A = this chain, B = another copy of it.
Amino acid sequence: MALETLSANKSFGGVLTKYKFKSAALGGLDTQFNLFLPANASQGKVPVLFYLAGLTCTEDNGTQKGGFLRDAADEGISIIFPDTSPRGAGIEGENDDWDFGTGAGFYLNATNPKYAKHYNMATHITMELPQVIEAAGIPIDFTRQSIFGHSMGGHGALTLYLAALSNNPKTKQFRSASAFSPVANPTKCPWGQKAFKGYLQGGVEEAVSIYDATEMISKIKDNVHILIDYGTGDNFYKQGQLLPENFLKAARDAGHDEVQVRVRPQDGYDHSYYFISTFGPDHVHFNANFLKA
């Protein structure tokens, strides 16, 4: 699992490096990720924020269009940008749809035998990337992790954060989570239902308690630290793919107040990186507060 360096660009005093390695979690396929290390990483280990991108994206969208590096450099934290799915698994139909298969891994571990060997983005992000990066001697302090994401990646950030809180205490690995226009109640929307029917042997039913942020927040008693922004001009929001109000209601019903869970409608913004980059500074600083506490 040696890391191969594909490129390195100095940015905001730090360095953005693109790596490649053979991923066990993704069935032995090559995968790529970007890693931003701020200047202060030369003086010791730094906290880390994961950024999970949305449908059709790669490890490059957040680095090129998110505008996150500026604030990460200011805060002295690193950011890991994983890919959004395995690539080249060779599964029939994998490349037919933009919202399923390649570029659309939904940050879960597949149980449908057709996908179970390769589509394990949850394990890839929560276990494999930290192990591979630590083994390479890269100065990241994995006792200080937070996670954020956009759309499908917002779903990923919320569910991986909540899973780590509610399941095995050993994997309680994220201090906070935030999301731009997340798919917040995926068992109730077309994107999520299609993904779960495809990837999971038990279909949508299997996803309810483990891959649906709205269902998960309703069961959690711990204090949580969550920030969500979505645009009221977002067509996917209007089409009912995101359902942030469902998440907010479930959070409030479970006793999570506005200090624990903030969900902010942003007037007239859409689903694009022009929206993300506008509120990116807030999200980086929100998570950095917990990473540096």
Residues in A lying within 8 Å of B, measured CB to CB: 9-13, 16, 63-65, 67, 69-70, 231, 233, 268-270, 272-275, 277-278, 281
Do B67 and A278 have beta carbons less than 8 Å apart? no
Do B70 and A67 have beta carbons less than 8 Å apart? yes
The minimal Cβ–Cβ distance linking A161 to chain B, given in whole angstroms, is: 27
Assembly CA distance A11 to B70 (angstroms): 17
Give the chain B neighbours of A12 by CB distance below 8 A.
277-278
Do B270 and A10 have beta carbons less than 8 Å apart? yes
**Across the two chains, which residue of chain B brings its CB closest to A65?**
B64
Give the chain B neighbours of A67 by CB distance below 8 A.
67, 70, 277
Give the chain B neighbours of A277 by CB distance below 8 A.
11-12, 67, 69-70
Do B70 and A274 have beta carbons less than 8 Å apart? no
**Across the two chains, which residue of chain B brings its CB closest to A270?**
B9
Do A273 and B64 have beta carbons less than 8 Å apart? yes
Residue of B10, B16, B70, B278 near A231 (CB, 8 A) is B10
Do B274 and A9 have beta carbons less than 8 Å apart? yes
Do A274 and B11 have beta carbons less than 8 Å apart? yes
Residue of B10, B63, B269, B281 near A233 (CB, 8 A) is B10
Query: Can you name 14 A-B residue pairings with CB atoms under 8 Å?
Result: A9-B275, A10-B231, A10-B233, A10-B268, A11-B274, A11-B275, A12-B278, A13-B278, A16-B274, A64-B273, A65-B65, A67-B277, A69-B277, A70-B277
Give the chain B neighbours of A273 by CB distance below 8 A.
64
Q: Which are the 5 A-B pairs with shortest beta-carbon distances?
A: A11-B274, A9-B274, A10-B268, A10-B269, A12-B278
Number of copies: 2
Assembly CA distance A10 to B270 (angstroms): 7
Do B9 and A272 have beta carbons less than 8 Å apart? yes
**Across the two chains, which residue of chain B brings its CB closest to A232?**
B10
Give the chain B neighbours of A278 by CB distance below 8 A.
10-13, 70
Give the chain B neighbours of A10 by CB distance below 8 A.
231, 233, 268-270, 274-275, 278
Assembly CA distance A64 to B67 (angstroms): 9
The minimal Cβ–Cβ distance linking A233 to chain B, given in whole angstroms, is: 7
**Across the two chains, which residue of chain B brings its CB closest to A12?**
B278
User: Contacts A9-B270, A10-B274, A67-B67 given; 18 further ones with Cβ under 8 A?
Assistant: A9-B274, A9-B275, A10-B233, A10-B269, A10-B270, A10-B275, A11-B278, A12-B277, A13-B278, A16-B274, A63-B274, A64-B64, A64-B273, A65-B65, A67-B70, A69-B274, A69-B277, A70-B281
Assembly CA distance A272 to B8 (angstroms): 11
Give the chain B neighbours of A274 by CB distance below 8 A.
9-11, 16, 63, 69
Assembly CA distance A67 to B69 (angstroms): 10
Which of A10, A64, A278 has the most chain B CB atoms closer than 10 A to its own CB?
A10
